[in-house]
């Protein structure tokens, strides 16, 4: 299968100011740090890792919602890094995003019809009958009644609001959709409905998904392949069954073995998985392998040399000195 989206050495460092009044300095927060990743046409690639490891930043970089500080992105056979706003326009509608918080992402003062229509207007459509028909079709696709168009976000449940968010993302007929924790903020009972809806839409419309989640069970359900991120790096990528039944990277092994934290207050904060030790700061990541401060298999080389992402088995990529001895 060919790659629809491809990242090469993709990097995003945010400048963070620190220091005192007398000694100001700027540090780089290395949110995404040299990521190579391919997303195949028609697949769902799950992207997992603890909160703060750079998943959302990577998703936003791939569709150029934010600008990289290094590396390259190819979309549908074209390099899109560095394209001007005008040149990006033709690609922009083909790459959309569904956000985690369906309430925060929708303007409370706009009707559902206006919310879904807005991307069409931005891309040059007029608010006429043909455009309204596209909105009605988008509502139908996500399983909302036509009369929902005249209502406002606060009149809907969380699950219905996420359906509005999905309709807004799909109304431009995209090829690639970044789903950034689209069910994390929803009740467990509603999560499965939204995941099933996304799967049905993918089949019906031939979509390609990057599905970001910290909940490994959701990713297991929806993904074809899974990529694991740790502190701005992709540390393992493989077919779903290989990730879950034969994980190679110690971090992936820890994620899968981690006992789910079932306290609702933790789940709401995105802390379902717990691994020994704290995640180090992306402001000053550990030398060598970034996982070395928490890895049960750490060796001397791990502290000094960063492991490259290599392919020890076909289509299974791992960045670890255990798997790829130096």
Nearer to ligand SF4, 139 or 302 (CB): 302
The region of 24-32, 97-105, 197-205, 317-325 touching ligand SF4 under the rule CB under 6 A is 317-325
- Find, among 163, 170, 178, the residue nearest to 204 by Cα: 170
Nearer to ligand SF4, 161 or 317 (CB): 317
CA distance linking residue 214 with residue 205, whole number of Å:
26
Helices (H) and strands (E) in the chain, counts: 11, 12
3-state secondary structure (DSSP) of residue 301: helix
Q: If binding is defined by CB under 5 A, does position 56 make contact with Mg ion?
A: yes
CA distance linking residue 67 with residue 282, whole number of Å:
18
3-state secondary structure (DSSP) of residue 199: helix
Nearer to ligand SF4, 53 or 61 (CB): 53
Torsion of CA 88, 205, 59, 61, to 10 degrees: -10
Contact 201, 166 (CB under 8 A): yes
Strand blocks (E) in 198-313: 208-212, 225-230, 233-239, 310-313
The region of 19-27, 49-57, 121-129, 218-226 touching Mg ion under the rule CB under 5 A is 49-57
Among 163, 168, 292, 317, binds ligand SF4 (CB under 6 A): 292
Q: DSSP code of 150?
A: G
Among 64, 161, 225, 321, binds ligand SF4 (CB under 6 A): 321
The region of 52-60, 112-120, 150-158, 225-233 touching Mg ion under the rule CB under 5 A is 52-60
Min dist CB 300 to ligand SF4, Å, is: 9
Q: If binding is defined by CB under 6 A, does position 250 make contact with ligand SF4?
A: yes
Q: If binding is defined by CB under 6 A, does position 307 make contact with ligand SF4?
A: yes
The region of 88-96, 107-115, 268-276, 318-326 touching ligand SF4 under the rule CB under 6 A is 318-326
Torsion of CA 244, 248, 249, 250, to 10 degrees: 80
Which residues of the shown chain bind ligand SF4 in the complex (CB under 6 A)? 249-250, 289, 291-292, 295, 297-299, 302, 307, 320-322
């Amino acid at each position: 299968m060919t790659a629809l989206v491809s990242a090469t050495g993709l990097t995003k460092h945010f400048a963070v100011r620190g220091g005192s009044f007398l000694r100001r300095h700027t540090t780089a927060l290395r949110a995404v740090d040299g990521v190579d990743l391919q997303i195949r046409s028609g697949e769902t690639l799950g992207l997992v890792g603890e909160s703060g490891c750079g998943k959302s930043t990577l998703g936003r970089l791939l569709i150029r919602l934010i600008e990289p500080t290094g590396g390259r992105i190819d979309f549908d056979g074209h390099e899109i890094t560095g394209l001007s706003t005008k040149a990006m326009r033709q690609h922009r509608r083909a790459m959309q995003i569904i956000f985690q918080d369906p309430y925060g992402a929708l303007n409370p003062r706009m009707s559902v019809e206006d919310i879904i229509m807005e991307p069409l207007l931005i891309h040059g459509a007029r608010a006429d009958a043909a455009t309204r028909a596209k909105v009605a079709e988008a509502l139908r696709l996500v399983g909302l009644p036509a009369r929902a168009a005249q209502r406002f976000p606060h009149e809907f449940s969380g699950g219905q609001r996420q359906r509005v968010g999905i309709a807004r993302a799909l109304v431009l007929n995209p090829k690639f959709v970044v789903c950034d924790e689209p069910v994390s903020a929803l009740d467990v009972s509603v999560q499965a409905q939204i995941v099933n809806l996304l799967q049905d839409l993918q089949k019906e419309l031939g979509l390609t998904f990057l599905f970001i989640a910290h909940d490994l069970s959701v990713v297991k359900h929806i993904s074809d392949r899974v990529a694991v991120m740790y502190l701005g790096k992709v540390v393992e990528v493989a077919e779903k069954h290989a990730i879950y039944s034969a994980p190679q990277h110690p971090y992936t092994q820890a994620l899968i073995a981690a006992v789910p934290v079932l306290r609702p207050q933790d789940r709401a904060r995105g802390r379902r998985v717990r691994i020994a030790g704290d995640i180090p700061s992306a402001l000053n990541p550990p030398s060598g392998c970034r996982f070395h401060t928490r890895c049960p298999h750490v060796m001397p080389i791990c502290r000094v040399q960063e492991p490259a992402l290599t392919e020890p088995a076909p289509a299974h990529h791992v960045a670890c000195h255990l798997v790829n001895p130096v």
